Amino acid sequence: MTNLEIALSYLDKGLSLIPLYSPEMLKIKPSKGFREELDKKIRENDASDNPTLKDDVTREVLTRWCKKPCISGWKEYQHKLPAREEVTNWFTMNPTANIGIITGAISNLVVFDLDSESAVQYADEQGGFPDTVKVKTGKGYHIYMKHPGFVVKNQVNKKLDIDIRADGGYVVTPPSRHGSGHYYQWEEGYSISQIDPAPCITWMIDYLRDISKIDPDTENKLNDLAEEFSIIELDDKLIQAAAETKPQESIAQAPTQDVYVGLLQNGCRQGERNHSATKLIGYLLKTGMKDTEVWEMVQMWNRDKVHPPLDQDELQKTFDSVRALEKKNQTAKPTPPKIQIESFLDDMTRTVKEYQQDYVRVPFANSSLTELENLMNGGFVGGGFYLFGGIPSSGKTVLLNNIADNICLNGYPVLFFSYDDGRSELRYRTFSRFAGQSIENFNLRTLKDIGSIFQIPQVKEIITRKYVVQQMIPVEKWNELIDPIRVKHGKAPVIIIDYLRKLRTEKGNGEERLRVDGILSKLTEIAKIYNTPVIAISELARDSYKAGQRLSMASFKESGTIEYEASWLGILGAVEEDGGEYKLKENWDTIIQQDGNVDLIIFKAKRGTGATGRVPLKVDKNFMTVTERPVKPTHDPTAVNPVKTKF
């Protein structure tokens, strides 16, 4: 393949890229900047007391220049993907140009650059790297990981020989040629065309947070502003939050959400800097963030997004002025209303309203999960907290994504917190299901045109109701998402979580059990307040994975509080019944992999959520579907009184 074909394949995978100088380009037609730097270094070397060989000086300068962009204005591709025409033009004009992949949020990518054996050893001691995309460089490896969802700075750590390339950076990628002559190469079996970058694991998240030096709450808020605005509508107060916007101005005169998205992602031009900084500072202060957090964010925005940036003193003066105005406009907190004890009494009007109007039952079966829906009394009940557990590879996310899409097709909005798979993974699972295309076609980007998939009636309907969140938003802040969705659709969204233990609260508890217990209580509270189903995926305890192991409510990692908080509990696995109990089959992993046969065992169903029982399912991981599996009866169908099971 030519460099052009390879560059276009990267673009098709959603990666932003730019052309870089290569040794061939600089030898055939050296740029003016390269010639000037080389001449300068040669003169300095000749004048030194210990001069080195001229070839060594040339190789040093060449190596540095073979990592530089050969186009001007490359930073705009930190915020948008280049057009195919641009990429084609770049690599047609310079067929041997090296390829640089822009890291950061635009490509959903952060790269760990390990330059020595000690760097590899350090990473291994911290927990190592999962199976992910790897590049062999001259001195070590580039490890490609999914972007963690918060702003990550680029960093050079000479002590550990670990560099980070993330927001605002780029990496040289295969088949580019190093200035020393060697080629960057994908590690066999780990190229970006074979596998996707893996999510960052705990030690990596901690490392990236530490070098970025922004506390998690600030990171979440920045990502909320730039990312979540695209899927929710803001209320009038938030829209009018800029300092210069007066409360009496009409909504048509106030800045729209697009203004803030544009400022955060694209910055502004000279001549607009003071006005834009004032608007952004005013909004951020209105969110309730600490002054120090706002100041840190604004400095980052000014440094990375504003060209040329405002002078630091001028930015500080603007910040101080807007902050003083906001403090002046703040009013005393209203006195909390007194509790009305009459509200605790029953009356006919409220009782009739609750019975007739507040009853919510969300259907989800469509044509594929009718037996399960019937067993659950016709769907998920409003105010219920549902928990799906399962052994590895049992299809938990596939099932919940199928259910989410079916709910959307039945006219209900869904708020899907996807912390295991990202937004693109869920999107392609949906595409695979309704387009009849193998999921691998999407993973490997082999389809030339996916735009037509958006014309499929089911897909057109789903994308108007399915809100996917991959930023880590504390549970206490979820109302800021739920409320505008409820206003837009006239009903609260069904909430789906993948998965439970990844959730965070504003004030985390050091002890894991207490932290999870607190999350469970908050989820139950959200379900009741909004009268909507809350559905979560959970893990099983590792001992539950053994063949022959009996499954029960105690199999959940959160066993204890979860048995009381959850309205409904089900476990996915390849099981066999033994004396009224369910045990994992021998070779259950092979059965699931080869046949896709799993069973959903419902161990708990209370408060109108249905009945306990067993539902045989078939998971097709090629086309991302879950359907009910017909099972031959174990009794004589002609018998007058067949023996009933405990369910």
Q: What is the CATH number of the domain that holds 423?
A: 3.40.50.300
Same domain, 481 and 551: yes
Confidence of residue 8 (pLDDT cuts 50, 70, 90): very high
Confidence of residue 227 (pLDDT cuts 50, 70, 90): very low
Average pLDDT over residues 586-600: 90
Average pLDDT over residues 362-375: 94
State residue 173's pLDDT score: 95
Evaluate whether residue 609 is within a structural domain: yes
Average pLDDT over residues 607-633: 89
Over 50: is that where the pLDDT of 241 sits? no
Domain end call among 212, 240, 262? 212
Same domain, 87 and 129: yes
Confidence of residue 341 (pLDDT cuts 50, 70, 90): confident
Evaluate whether residue 179 is within a structural domain: yes
State residue 256's pLDDT score: 47
Average pLDDT over residues 143-166: 84
Same domain, 206 and 264: no
Same domain, 311 and 176: no
Q: What is the pLDDT of residues 291-325, one digit of tens each?
A: 887 888 888 888 877 877 888 888 888 888 888 88
State residue 593's pLDDT score: 87
Number of domains in the chain: 3
Q: What percent of the chain has pLDDT over 70?
A: 85
Query: Under a CB-based contact definition with an 8 Å cutoff, are residues 59 and 84 in contact?
Result: no
Evaluate whether residue 634 is within a structural domain: no
Evaluate whether residue 325 is within a structural domain: yes
State residue 247's pLDDT score: 35
Same domain, 202 and 240: no
Q: In whole numbers, what is the pLDDT of the chain averaged over residues?
A: 83
Same domain, 450 and 471: yes
Q: What is the full DSSP assignment across 5-56?
A: HHHHHHHHTT--EEEE--HHHHHHS--HHHHHHHHHHHHHHHHSSS---HHH
Task: For strands 494-498 and 380-381, give the pairing.
Answer: unpaired
Strands (E), 52-107: 98-102
Q: How many CB atoms lie within 10 A of CB 566?
A: 27
Over 80: is that where the pLDDT of 358 sits? no
Least confident of 243-257, 410-424, 458-472: 243-257
Evaluate whether residue 344 is within a structural domain: no
Strands (E), 286-336: 306-307
Evaluate whether residue 443 is within a structural domain: yes
Over 80: is that where the pLDDT of 417 sits? yes
Cis omega (within 30 of 0) for bond into 23: no
Give the C-alpha separation, 425 to 410, whole Å: 22
**Cα Rg of the chain, angstroms:** 28
Q: Could you tell me the strand order of the sheet in which 597-605 lies? A: 466-469, 414-418, 494-498, 534-537, 385-390, 568-573, 597-605, 613-620, 625-628
Give the C-alpha separation, 545 to 270, whole Å: 60
Same domain, 186 and 270: no
Least confident of 12-21, 129-138, 342-351: 342-351
Over 90: is that where the pLDDT of 437 sits? yes
State residue 118's pLDDT score: 81
Over 60: is that where the pLDDT of 645 sits? no
Q: What is the pLDDT of residues 165-178, one digit of tens each?
A: 998 899 999 999 99
| Helix and strand totals (H; E) in the chain | 23, 25
Helix (H) or strand (E) holding 355: helix 348-356
Q: What percent of the chain has pLDDT over 90?
A: 44
Same domain, 188 and 235: no
State residue 253's pLDDT score: 38
As to burial, measured by CB atoms within 10 angstroms (0-12 exposed, 13-18 middle, 19+ buried), residue 451 is exposed
Evaluate whether residue 335 is within a structural domain: no
Tokens of 225: 């502003």
Give the C-alpha separation, 223 to 264, whole Å: 10
Over 60: is that where the pLDDT of 482 sits? yes
State residue 634's pLDDT score: 47
Q: What is the full DSSP assignment across 492-538?
A: PPEEEEE-GGG---SS--SSHHHHHHHHHHHHHHHHHHHT--EEEE-
State residue 349's pLDDT score: 74
Confidence of residue 559 (pLDDT cuts 50, 70, 90): low
Give the C-alpha separation, 409 to 461, whole Å: 6
Secondary structure (3-state) at 539: coil
State residue 539's pLDDT score: 83
Over 50: is that where the pLDDT of 433 sits? yes
As to burial, measured by CB atoms within 10 angstroms (0-12 exposed, 13-18 middle, 19+ buried), residue 75 is middle
Same domain, 504 and 384: yes
Domain end call among 306, 329, 352? 329
As to burial, measured by CB atoms within 10 angstroms (0-12 exposed, 13-18 middle, 19+ buried), residue 335 is exposed
State residue 254's pLDDT score: 40
H helices present in 94-175, as ranges? 117-126
Same domain, 308 and 159: no
Domain that holds residue 136: 3-22+66-212
Same domain, 314 and 372: no
Same domain, 265 and 190: no
Over 70: is that where the pLDDT of 555 sits? yes
Evaluate whether residue 580 is within a structural domain: yes
Q: What is the pLDDT of residues 36-89, one digit of tens each?
A: 999 999 999 989 888 888 888 898 999 899 999 999 888 889 888 999 999 999
State residue 246's pLDDT score: 38
Q: What is the pLDDT of residues 483-507, one digit of tens each?
A: 999 988 889 999 999 988 889 888 7
State residue 322's pLDDT score: 86
Q: What is the CATH number of the domain that holds 8?
A: 3.30.720.160
Task: For strands 155-157 and 170-173, give the pairing.
Answer: unpaired
State the virtual CA torsion across 245, 247, 251, 253 in degrees, nearest 10: -40
Over 50: is that where the pLDDT of 400 sits? yes
